[in-house]
Structure 1
Amino acid sequence: MKYLFLLGTALAASATLATPAQADEAALDNIVVTATRTETPTSEIGQSVSVVTREDIERTQAVTATDILARLPGVTFTQSGGFGQPASVFIRGAENSQSLVLIDGVRINDPGDVGGGFDFGSLTVGQFDRIEVVRGSSGVLWGSRAIGGVINLITARPTDEWTARGQAEYGWRDQKQLGASAAGKVGPVGLTLGGNWLKGDGYSAFDERIGGREKDGFESKSANARAEVQLVEGLSADAGAYWTKANYDYDNTGADALNVGMKRDTVGYANLRYKGLDGRLTARLGYGLTDTRRISDDAVFGPFTTNGRNDRFEGQVSYTPVEMVSLLVGAETEKQKFSDNYGSKDSTSIDSYFGMLTLRPVTGLTLNGGLRYDDNSDFGHKTTFSANGAWVIGGGENAPILRASYGEGFKAPSLYQLYTNAGFRALDPETSKSWDVGVEQPFAQGHGTFSVTYFDRKTKNLIDYDLAAFNYYNVGRARAQGVELGMQVIDWEGFDMSLSATYLDATNEITGARLARRPKTNLYASLDKRWAQGFRLGADLRVGGGRYDDVANTYFLEGNVVVGLRAAYDVTRNIQVYGRVDNLFDEHYEVVRTYGTPGRAAYAGVRVKM
């Protein structure tokens, strides 16, 4: 009853907040980059997009990237234990490896990962200023791995005046966190610098409630840097780097174990940018590097080490000859390398060309259509198509926005799947076709939005793992369809509100079985209130549906209901103290069979801004 009461309170609050109110200024239209590779208002984007700001990260007191991503419509995740343990993010039921992950626009998917995906298990969120998530196939603009969507984690841009912030936090099982960043100018050069440190005793990856006793601790260090300089009028250069290293303990599936792991990610990039013709022409030449090293050191069998590297050169030009028409064209070349300590070593390359045409035939209507040509050195060439549109119906501040999109995807097997697959390399590339349609309704004079979206994706040759044959194989056909609900209210008479709910039907169409670890239903709701005196109080409610843990649908994991509370107080304009209690009612649940999840935990910290 207490969970139903909290949920009812959240929904009642959302109905109250939907009443129009006097606003100082509209909180929307957001400008995003990830959906179109150029700066575009969300009202002109036909795909479903979520934007997480620095204020959202601080308000929710999030520590890891999964803390934030799990709050968004259509997004779920699983993790095999605590911090550092493998974590997968599913966008609309797509495999973790079918979603592209970026840091400052640079691909960080690991060629050494099982499916060429990104392991979110040790990614902290303290250094990021903004996160953009595009749901639905984005393969035409972003290429392979963007079947499910794109996640772009963006660090802060340099500012004209120097600013700085710092954070210190302490809590459950001796978890400590320190973070700091600064941005400003040294002469003509704009700089951003940041770092984060996180360490704790953790909890047993093997579920403590079924016998786990040994705590699996962790330590994470990360740093980022960015520099920008204006060379001449209209021509600028920027370069940056992101580095993180995590050490952690982990267990086997059925017992405690003295296993240790390490994951190190290095990202680097450099760009030359041009902007001219009164902003109607933009161009970019760029290079991006991702280098990842992972060590899983089993206490009995010894270490398994993988190394993945991705080098990428790309260029693009965007031109708007008249207000009604824009054209984006680009080319990319990418080389992936993979090796392990058991003799596997190989590489592959992809050359790509893409184009996107945007039309604005009448006020409020935007239509986008694009093509992409990929030439994979191992699997040949493939052409994919996409189209989407957004229509602001009637115009005006509270006009609804109708969105629709169609996209195709193409993803070759990963180097890991090919060269660690017990000699079986007859894997076919994954292909997909997806579409969605939805409507977004602003309310409260720009302080709030409500959206509902239906999506459907069909995938051929989905690559999965056969536990009986101990190798990877192609699933003939898979389908994921469902409905997403989303609502967000920002600063309405001191209230902030978020609501996301997802219904997902993800199945293997050959066997009829549900895809493993995808819950059918998922709901997240939060309500925050701020007072003029500087005090803030908030609550979270997360309702996760049940899921099967295996492809044969043999092991079913029950759903869960998790409640959190948080508070913050502005001591001065520049100093804030805060605290939170996660899993308030100490809910016992698993999202991966035999692996534990955190119980009730409390944390407190301080933030300083200058």
Structure 2
Amino acid sequence: MRRLLLLSFTALSLPALAQGVNPGTPPVTEPSAAIAETVVTATRVPTPIERVPGAVTVIDRQTIEERGYQTLAEALVTVPGFALIQSGGLGQPASAFIRGTASRHALVLLDGVPINDASEPNGAFNFGNDLLGMDVERIEVLRGPASSLYGSGAIGGVVNIVTRRAPRDRAIAPFGEVAGGSNRTLRANGGITGTVGEFDYLLSLRSLSTRGTDATPSRFTSDTGERDGFRSAGATVRLGWTPSARFRLEGLANWRENHGGLDNVPNDDPNYSFEDRRYTGQIRAEGKPFEAWTTGFRIAQTVDRRKYRNLADGFDPSTTDDLYRGERTVFDWGNQIRLPDAGFLDQSQVSFGVTHEREDVRQASGSTFFRTTTDADASSTAGHMGYQVRLFRRLDLSAGIRNDAAEDYGTHTSWRLGALLAVPEISARIRTAYGTAFKAPSLYQRYGRITGFFEGNPNLRPEISEGWEAGIEFDLPLGAQRDFATLGATYFDNRIRDLINYDAFFTSLENIDRARIKGAEFTATLRPARWLTASLAYTITDARDARTDERLARRPEQQLALNASFRPVENVTIAPELIVFGRSREGAFASYRNDGSAYTVARDNKAGTIFNLTATWQVTEPVAVFVEGRNLTDSDFEPANGFVIPGRTVLVGTRFRF
């Protein structure tokens, strides 16, 4: 494994060194033509992506539509270092393992506000529940430890879903989309946005219904072909008031409700269903007391309500009625101060603030005789500070520190240092970062109980990580084209300790596990012609239990994503996508033979390949017609043993934007 990482990294880095000095290279103050994004997630301060000393991926609205992504899970599976494992089709549970960390180590934000369900036993986010309606403008993904910015949960990385902003020059700007196809799937979303004087607004609705597919593999002798249907509806409302260039007040409300069927392993279960509702709202005020100082205050709340029901039948004689209710309330005060330039120092900014967060969980799950309950709440308050500066107009440095003080697990301090060096002589950017992160024990882990059998452990400590990364990205010119190709390579190394797991008797939980993770991410974007762009993302991950040296479950050792955007004629775009999953480990009693019996020792999940294709015809400037094909080779790949991906599907639709 070490040899493979070294050879791959060396091979990709050599072309940058071979370029030598390029007299035609622009000055360092001019960004590369291949990189023009500005991101907020990586630093809390709007920063050009080429100056961020960390691994960041941005999936914008154009990419979402061009590649036919209709769910958050579909979009994220192509991100380097992002292994997303879904147990079936639309609406089925999906877990993310960012750079080999656990699924509970991915923090998800909606416009900067955490939306991980507080009632989820481990605090993990279900990536299978969210649609990418036209109210979603972009998705920013920061990989690596980020607790110095966002606190608990950001060990593997952060996903920030950014909603659409109103155009400043339009009073009314409607948009919409409708599509239908395989499995009686119907998808519709649309809305209206605009700016009238000092006020701006956004109203968006979205829905999807499908009879679904069978998540049980046909190789199981117990497979009945029963489909897992799915229905989803949601809405987003934003109202903003900007009376002057120095003040803005806005409110955002988001609602999402899903209904669907689930399967048990290894049997179909027609009576197993779920309801999942989430309400998120925030009010934010931002002002500039002075030209160099921006300050803002935000109040936000997220409420999750989930129900899972499974009535007694011929497949399972027991009855399950699971209820989960979680609330998270956030008060956040943040500041940015732009410092004056001084000689070789410029672009200096200081950020600081205070965040107070409260979680409340009411949960009851399991059968009547084996009922798990949690009834608890907890608060924490954190102070954070960051600094970033550019030296000699080519070296960006950043530092951040945060201290979280909780009422029930003590205090924890996390930090991060980063550096990025622009080397225009070879059109390269070299970056490195080192930092710590933590995941607080969930309320279930601390206070959950099964009467007479299990008691949570209120003395649990946070899970703690320490990691570093180093990478290089460079542009290869060809003739007059400066950005013919952009290549990148990043090596990462992470150590996690105090991982929470069951004690030897399964009667409580303890901080007993450790993990060590290393790997590499390789990216390439080719632009051989104006009508053709191709990209590659390849990840190697070696994630192991530090005590036993066993590979951690459900982390593919290798993962490859190939995408292209091909325009054979004017106004027509064809976007093929190939995703290859390498083998991954599955835990004991989680791998199943064809007869449904479980293996008692850990085994490997087989590798798998998925091919998707989307074609879009821009009929007129505001109206487009598209075709989305998923899994066109009809692969029966099982990302998680016992759960197969949906077979071949095709959707046809139209969208407009005025």
**The two structures share one fold, judged by TM-score above 0.5:** yes
Query: Does 1:303 pair with 2:321?
Result: yes
Structure 1 residues 574 and 239: CA distance shift in structure 2, 3 A: same
Output one character per residue of 1:370-402: Cα deviation in whole Å (capped at 9) or x when no partner.
21111111110112221001111137xx72111
**What residue in structure 1 maps to residue 176 of structure 2?**
166
Residue aligning to 2:443: 415
Are residue 458 (structure 1) and residue 495 (structure 2) matched?
yes
Q: Give the distance between the partners of 2:120 and 2:469, measured in 1 at CA.
A: 29
Q: Could you tell me which amino acid in structure 1 is paired with residue 175 of structure 2? A: R
How far, CA to CA, are the matches of 1:225 and 1:458 in structure 2?
A: 41
- Give % identity: 29
User: CA-to-partner distance for each residue in 1:544-594, whole Å, 9 max, x for gaps?
Assistant: 011112168613210101222222212222221111322222111111121
Distance 1:208 1:181, change over 3 A: farther
Amino acid at match of 2:448: T
Distance in 2, matches of 1:100 and 1:406, equals 19
Matched with 2:281 is: 268
Alignment match of 1:141 (pick from 146, 149, 153)? 149
Q: Which moved more, 1:208-217 or 1:98-107?
A: 208-217
After superposition, the C-alpha distances for 1:437-496 in whole angstroms (9 at most, x for unaligned) are: 001113453475321100011000122468983764434310111000112357941112
Q: Is the 8 A contact 2:66 2:615 kept in 1?
A: no
Match of 2:428 among 383, 400, 410: 400
Partner of 2:358: 335
Change (3 A) 1:417 1:501: same
In the TM superposition, what is the alpha-carbon distance from 1:346 to its structure 2 partner?
A: 0.3
The residue aligned with 2:334 is: 316
Q: In structure 2, how many angstroms separate the alpha carbons of the residues matched to 1:293 and 1:491?
A: 49
Corresponding letter in the other structure for 2:262: Y
**Amino acid across the alignment from 2:49:** T
The SS at the match of 2:136 is coil
1:581 to 614, 617, 629: 629
1:137 match: secondary structure: coil
- Of residues 420, 433, 436, the one that matches 2:466 is 433
Q: Deviations over 1:512-570 (max 9, x none)?
A: 11111101000000122114432222211111011112168613210101222222212
> How far, CA to CA, are the matches of 1:361 and 1:134 in structure 2?
24
How many residue pairs get aligned? The number is: 589
1:220 maps to which of 232, 238, 244: 232
1:3 alignment partner in structure 2 = none
Instruction: Give ranges in structure 1 of 5+ residues lacking alignment.
Output: 1-14
Q: Using a 3 Å threshold, how does the CA distance of structure 1 residues 547 and 26 change in structure 2: closer, same or farther?
A: same
Where 1:129 maps in the other structure, the secondary structure is: strand
Corresponding letter in the other structure for 1:194 = S
Distance in 2 separating the partners of 1:265 and 1:496: 38
Q: Give the direction of change, closer, same or farther, for the CA distance of 1:491–1:290 in structure 2 (3 Å limit).
A: farther
**Aligned pair partner of 1:188 in 182, 198, 217:** 198
Structure 2 SS opposite 1:370: strand
Alignment-mate amino acid for residue 274 of structure 1: G
Shift of 1:292: 0.4
Contact 1:158 1:228 in 2 (8 A): no
* Alpha-carbon shift at residue 208 of structure 1 (Å): 3.6
Structure 1 pair 209–581 and aligned structure 2 pair: CA distance change class (3 A):
farther
For residues 37 and 564 of structure 1, the distance between their equivalents in structure 2, rounded to whole angstroms, comes to: 35
| 2:533 is the alignment partner of 1:496 | yes
**Alpha-carbon contact 2:297-2:334 (below 8 Å) kept:** yes
Q: How does 1:212-251 map to 2 (within 5 A)?
A: 212-251=224-263
What is the alpha-carbon distance in structure 1 between the residues aligned to residue 240 and residue 427 of structure 2? 38
One-letter code aligned to 1:406? Y
Q: CA deviation at 1:209?
A: 4.0
Quick check: which has more Rg, 1 or 2?
A: 2
Please give the alpha-carbon distance, in whole angstroms, between the structure 1 residues aligned to 2:613 and 2:38. 31
1:30 & 1:276 partners in 2: Cα distance?
28
What's the counterpart of residue 361 of structure 1?
391
Q: Which residue of 2 aligns with 1:130?
A: 138
Specify which of 371, 375, 378 is matched with residue 348 of structure 1: 378
Task: Look up the SS of the partner of 2:566 in the other structure.
Answer: strand
Name the counterpart of 2:207. 197
Alignment of 1:532-547 (within 5 A): 532-547=569-584
Two-structure CA RMSD over aligned residues (Å):
2.4
Q: Normalising to structure 2: TM-score of the pair?
A: 0.86
CA distance 1:133–1:261, shift in 2 (3 Å): same
Q: Is the Cα–Cα contact under 8 Å of residues 445 and 456 in structure 2 kept in the other structure?
A: no
SS at 1:417 equivalent: helix
Runs (4 or more) in structure 1 with deviation over 6 Å come to none
Contact 2:374 2:443 in 1 (8 A): no
Find 1:72's aligned residue among 76, 79, 92.
79
For 1:593, the aligned partner's letter is N
Asked if the contact 1:111–1:416 (Cα under 8 Å) also holds between the matched residues in 2, the reply is no
Q: Is the 8 A contact 1:177 1:199 kept in 2?
A: yes
Deviations 1:108-142 (A, max 9, x none): 01110121121111111123111100000011011
SS of the counterpart of 2:212?
coil
| Distance in 1, Cα, partners of 2:103 & 2:267 | 26
Matched to 1:267, the amino acid is T
Mapped pair 1:90 → 2:127: no
- Residue 333 of structure 1 aligns to a residue whose secondary structure is strand
Q: 2:4: which partner in 1?
A: none
- 1:36 maps to amino acid: T
State the secondary structure of the residue aligned to 1:118: coil
Aligned residues of 1:158 and 1:227 also touching (Cα < 8 A): no
What is the deviation of 1:361?
2.4
Tell me which amino acid in the other structure corresponds to 1:172: S
Inter-partner Cα distance in structure 1 for 2:473 and 2:487: 6
Alignment check: 8 A CA contact 2:35 2:50 kept: no
The correspondence of residues 109-120 of structure 1 with structure 2, limited to 5 A, is 109-120=116-127
1:8 aligns to what? none
Q: Does 1:176 align with 2:174?
A: no
Work out whether 1:41 is the aligned partner of 2:48. yes
Matched residues in 1 for 2:637 and 2:198: separation? 54
Q: Which residue of 2 aligns with 1:378?
A: 408
* Structure 1: distance between partners of 2:362 and 2:106: 23
Map Cα deviations across residues 63-115 of structure 1 (whole Å, 9 max, x no partner). Answer: 11011101110001112222222111111011121111001111101110121
- Residue 310 of structure 1 and its aligned partner are, at CA, apart by 0.4
The answer to whether residue 486 in structure 2 is matched with residue 449 in structure 1 is yes
| CA-to-aligned-CA distance 1:190-244 (integer Å, 9 cap, x gap) | 1112111000011123224422411110100011111221134401111101110
TM-score (norm 1): 0.92
Query: Does 185-194 or 437-446 show the bigger shift?
Result: 437-446
CA distance in 2, matches of 1:551, 1:350: 37
Which runs of 5 or more structure 2 residues have no equivalent in the other structure? 1-14, 25-31, 313-318, 365-371, 590-600
